[in-house]
């Protein structure tokens, strides 16, 4: 069995076969899932490399512990201390290579409907050669002539792509809120317990949002000072109240009967989370107390102790950053997400209420899934049709590459950026998160007000 497994992995790396899990005790895996896992793995490897390049600690450790470090740097023409391989400019080049990699595959996989075509085989296999291609593109970016012009132009491309990535996530969040309410409301026709479920979840959402805003008012404000925090908490709390009142207003209810407090509760929770994330990313304010000592204000006392351990904060923060970006990429590349962005929704009468409404309802096993336990370790589940849109999948990862580039290099404060100070506070990140918060509210309000402004047009949400 081990020889068969090795042969399968070799076919996966150098051929068009799908990748299976390594251990014999592991269950079989769908090709659609294994393919996305492999692309995500490549993405994670490059993101980790970018974080290492932005780390001054790693650079110092390498210089101290690697023998002949300076000679090696001069040998590869990377500078006396490999300064060309670290810092924001190196991250820009590596992310340029990764973005080009995903953009090429985005064009290559346009209009693929099943896994039988030649282009689909390239998408689902040949992982060793794709790893070589990714490495070559990331390395080749260091040899682009006229680096200053390239970096300045690529910075603006990265900013546009990063904001577009954020916009897609916000659109999908608003769509998620509407879909949740519509799905559970459909169940009330046959079972009145769905009303209780809607009421309970709505209560939980508003409790989280209200509790979060209150806790932030306690820990991120003081009686004297912290005026910016007080204003932002007041504004964002007022926006949560505004969208709740608009959602249940008679004019909106007449045009959109499915509109309710559940959607506004979900958006309010996300606004609360973004507000907390923004305040946590804000640079600390330091003032002199009555004894002439520097005192940090407008942040929780327990947070100051945590930030003293830079290595712990860097490791935890980087892991959380990678996890959040990867989750956003994978959840926004499903076929339902693509349909939502294009305005295609299921008819309300076809909705079947489910607790886990995000997933497709379980049906009969396909022919590939009904194979015996001794069958292939990879289930080829896309012979009749693709589970997700290949080109859209690569396009989202292309935008994610730009978002990573801008985030890791501290957006527009790139010259002084490093991964150790990234999690201790940045005005660029603070305002990006606050802007995302307000754009999210604006998008949700548009879905409520648009049917009133255009009464002759049909809206599906």
SS3 296: strand
**pLDDT of 23 strictly over 50:** no
- The mean-pLDDT minimum among 43-47, 122-126, 206-210 falls in 122-126
19 with 380: CB under 8 angstroms?
no
What is the pTM assigned to this prediction?
0.78
In tens, the pLDDT along 295-315 reads 677 777 655 554 444 555 556
C-alpha 396, offset from chain centre: 9
In tens, the pLDDT along 162-198 reads 899 888 888 888 888 888 888 777 777 777 787 888 8
| DSSP structure string for 5-56 | HHHHHHHHHHSSPPP--SSTTSPPEEHHHHHHHHHHHHHHHHHHHHHHHT-H
**pLDDT of 58 strictly over 80:** no
| DSSP structure string for 318-350 | HHHHHHHHHHHHHHTTSHHHHHHHTT----GGG
C-alpha 65, offset from chain centre: 35
Residues whose CB falls within 8 Å of the CB of residue 135, separated by 6 or more in sequence, listed in order: none
Distance CA 202, CA 205 (A): 5
Which residue has tokens 């970016």?
A: 141
- The mean-pLDDT minimum among 19-23, 24-28, 73-77, 279-283 falls in 19-23
Structure tokens that stand for 399 in this block: 């935008």
Identify how many contiguous H helices and E strands the chain contains and give both numbers.
18, 4
Alpha-carbon dihedral sign for residues 347, 353, 356, 362: negative
pLDDT for 365: 44
In tens, the pLDDT along 430-439 reads 888 899 999 9
């Amino acid at each position: 069995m081990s020889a068969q497994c090795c042969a399968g992995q070799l076919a996966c790396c150098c051929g068009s076969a799908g990748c299976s899990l390594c251990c014999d005790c592991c269950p079989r895996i769908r090709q659609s899932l294994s393919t996305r896992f492999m692309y995500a793995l490549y993405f994670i490897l490059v993101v980790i490399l970018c974080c290492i390049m932005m780390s001054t600690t790693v650079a110092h450790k390498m210089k101290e512990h690697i023998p002949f470090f300076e000679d090696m740097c001069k040998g590869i023409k990377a500078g006396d201390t490999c300064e060309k391989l670290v810092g924001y400019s190196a991250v820009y080049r590596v992310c340029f290579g990764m973005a080009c990699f995903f953009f090429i595959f985005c064009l290559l996989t346009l209009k693929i409907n099943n896994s039988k075509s030649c282009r689909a085989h390239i998408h689902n296999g040949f992982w060793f050669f794709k790893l070589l291609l990714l490495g070559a593109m990331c390395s080749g970016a260091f040899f682009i002539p006229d680096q200053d012009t390239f970096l300045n132009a690529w910075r603006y491309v990265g900013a546009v792509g990063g904001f577009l990535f954020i916009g897609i996530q916000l659109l999908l969040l608003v769509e998620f809120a509407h879909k949740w309410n519509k799905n559970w409301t459909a169940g009330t026709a046959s079972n009145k317990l769905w009303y209780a479920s809607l009421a309970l979840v709505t209560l939980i959402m508003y409790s989280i949002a209200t509790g979060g805003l209150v806790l932030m008012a306690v820990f991120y404000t003081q009686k004297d000072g912290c005026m910016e925090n007080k204003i932002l908490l007041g504004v964002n709390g007022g926006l949560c109240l505004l969208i709740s009142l608009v959602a249940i207003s008679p004019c909106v209810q007449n045009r959109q009967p499915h509109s309710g407090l559940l959607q506004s509760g979900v958006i309010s929770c996300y606004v609360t989370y973004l507000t907390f994330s923004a305040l946590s990313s804000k640079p600390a304010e330091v003032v002199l107390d009555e004894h002439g000592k520097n005192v940090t204000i407008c942040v929780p006392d327990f947070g100051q102790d945590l930030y003293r351990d830079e290595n712990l904060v860097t490791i935890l923060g980087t892991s959380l950053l990678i996890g959040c970006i990867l989750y956003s990429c994978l959840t926004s590349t499903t076929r339902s997400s693509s349909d939502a962005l294009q305005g295609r929704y299921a008819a309300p009468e076809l909705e079947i209420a489910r607790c886990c409404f995000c997933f497709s309802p379980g049906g009969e096993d396909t022919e590939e899934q009904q194979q015996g336990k001794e069958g292939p370790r990879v289930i080829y589940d896309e012979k009749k049709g693709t589970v997700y849109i290949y080109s859209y999948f690569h396009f989202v990862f292309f935008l994610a590459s730009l978002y990573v580039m801008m985030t890791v290099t501290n957006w527009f404060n790139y010259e002084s950026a490093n991964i150790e100070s990234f999690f201790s506070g940045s005005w660029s990140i603070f305002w990006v998160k606050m802007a995302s918060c307000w754009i999210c509210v604006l998008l949700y309000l548009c879905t409520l007000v648009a049917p009133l402004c255009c009464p002759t047009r049909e809206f599906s949400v």
